[in-house]
């Protein structure tokens, strides 16, 4: 069967894409006339893109994560009288700068985050947002708003003497990437977004007020049952009360339950290592307290549709959106709404993935997006 471009209505076309084995098991063959490497197993996954984008033909794209690397420098940046941020740089000191915006909020960065980027091409900047990871004070909610984080990104860019940079963010990181880019579009050379979260009421209600329970009823009951029945009118508010209790053990218990609910649902298939993170009280306290704080305050936006209302400010920026079809945490409706508002962006739907950036199909598409961005920004 000849594979090619299929035109469907609304100026969208679908191309077949493929999940690959690890690099050690791939044998090289000349490209076929249809531009497919015949050594690849053929497992189709829909790739939705706007007609304004060109089709790459005949050039294999790297799809595997880069090997682990260590930072070449790091530091602490004081951004207010209260907060300091941990930051690090890895890769090529003279390369094209890219800043990684972690999820949560409150999730912090990890060494694996460096591996989405070509270390010979990119100057890779990671930092822990206020209250998260190695930033201090830990799990602090004071002076901790979306707009504080946007200002922190600018302070870090100026501190590192970077004129402009590519921005990469997933889940809450996509929220922050969109917000930062809309605030400083002249400082952004390109965007790679994953697991779109527009922090609208319907998204919060889906995940924390019973929608996702239809898919994970067993895990949901454990999350729900920490809260007495007479307080279940709003689980976000009920958890907020406990995460801000004067009793530290009450905070920890709520944090563990809140974090476990997200960790259980973040992968298409259960990931025990991810779920175990909920048992780390230091991690879960920052993760749950800061997430809940932002959700109770509606991300400190003035309207539910803030990010969609301001798309025109960034419409010109080269952007790839990677979304797992079966993402339960940040369901595909948000990526689709963003795509409809911003058809110029390249939308990649991974048909065999959930939410996590570490799922094979998601990770592969994120690497590909960064590889393509190299040609654009280089």
Contact 292, 204 (CB under 8 A): no
At residue 186, the 3 state secondary structure works out as helix
Q: How many residues does the chain have?
A: 378
Q: Are strands 45-50 and 12-17 parallel, antiparallel or unpaired?
A: antiparallel
Among candidate residues 128, 327, 337, 346, the one labeled active-site is 327
Q: In the block, which residue shows the tokens 């080269």?
A: 318
Element (H, E) at 170: strand 165-170
Residue 281 is among the residues annotated as catalytic for this protein:
no
d(CA 91, CA 119): 4
d(CA 331, CA 329): 6
d(CA 241, CA 259): 16
Residue 171 is among the residues annotated as catalytic for this protein:
yes
Closest CA to 166 of 129, 196, 122: 122
Q: Which two tokens stand for residue 279?
A: 């048992």
Among candidate residues 19, 90, 135, 171, the one labeled active-site is 171
d(CA 375, CA 55): 14
Cβ contacts of 203-207, under 8 Å, gap ≥ 24: 203/330, 203/331, 203/334, 204/236, 204/295, 206/331, 207/262, 207/265, 207/328, 207/329
Residue 234 is among the residues annotated as catalytic for this protein:
no
Kindly list the catalytic residues: 171, 327, 355
């Amino acid at each position: 069967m000849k594979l090619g471009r299929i035109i469907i209505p609304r100026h969208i076309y679908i191309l077949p894409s493929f999940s690959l084995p690890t690099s050690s098991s791939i044998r090289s063959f000349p490209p076929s006339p249809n531009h497919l490497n015949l050594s690849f197993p053929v497992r189709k996954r829909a790739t939705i893109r706007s007609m304004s984008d060109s089709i790459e033909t005949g050039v294999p794209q790297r799809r595997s994560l880069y090997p682990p690397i260590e930072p070449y420098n790091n530091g602490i940046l004081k951004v207010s009288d209260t907060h300091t941020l941990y930051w690090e740089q890895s890769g090529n000191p003279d390369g094209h700068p890219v800043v990684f915006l972690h999820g949560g909020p409150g999730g912090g960065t990890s060494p694996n985050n460096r591996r989405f980027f070509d270390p010979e091409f990119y100057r890779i900047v990671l930092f822990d947002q206020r209250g998260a990871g190695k930033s201090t004070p830990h799990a602090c909610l004071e002076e901790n708003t979306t707009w504080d984080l946007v200002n922190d990104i600018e302070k870090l860019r100026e501190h590192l003497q970077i004129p402009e940079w590519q921005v990469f963010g997933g889940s809450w990181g996509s929220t922050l990437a969109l917000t930062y880019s809309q605030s400083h579009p002249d400082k952004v050379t390109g965007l790679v977004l994953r697991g779109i979260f527009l922090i609208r009421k319907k998204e919060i209600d889906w995940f924390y007020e019973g929608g996702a329970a239809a898919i994970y009823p067993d895990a949901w009951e454990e999350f729900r049952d920490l809260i007495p029945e007479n307080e279940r009118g709003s689980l976000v508010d009920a958890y907020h009360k406990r995460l801000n209790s004067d009793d530290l053990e009450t905070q920890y218990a709520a944090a563990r339950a809140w974090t476990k609910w997200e960790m259980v649902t973040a992968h298409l298939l259960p990931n025990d290592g991810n779920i175990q993170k909920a048992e780390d009280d230091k991690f879960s306290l920052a993760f749950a307290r800061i997430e809940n704080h932002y959700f109770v305050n509606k991300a400190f936006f003035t309207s539910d549709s803030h990010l969609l209302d301001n798309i025109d400010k960034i419409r010109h920026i080269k952007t790839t959106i990677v979304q797992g079809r079966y993402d339960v945490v940040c369901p595909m409706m948000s990526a689709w709404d963003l795509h409809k508002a911003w058809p110029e962006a390249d939308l990649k739907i991974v048909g065999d993935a959930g939410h996590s950036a570490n799922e094979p199909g998601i990770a592969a598409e994120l690497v590909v997006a960064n590889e393509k961005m190299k040609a654009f920004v280089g």
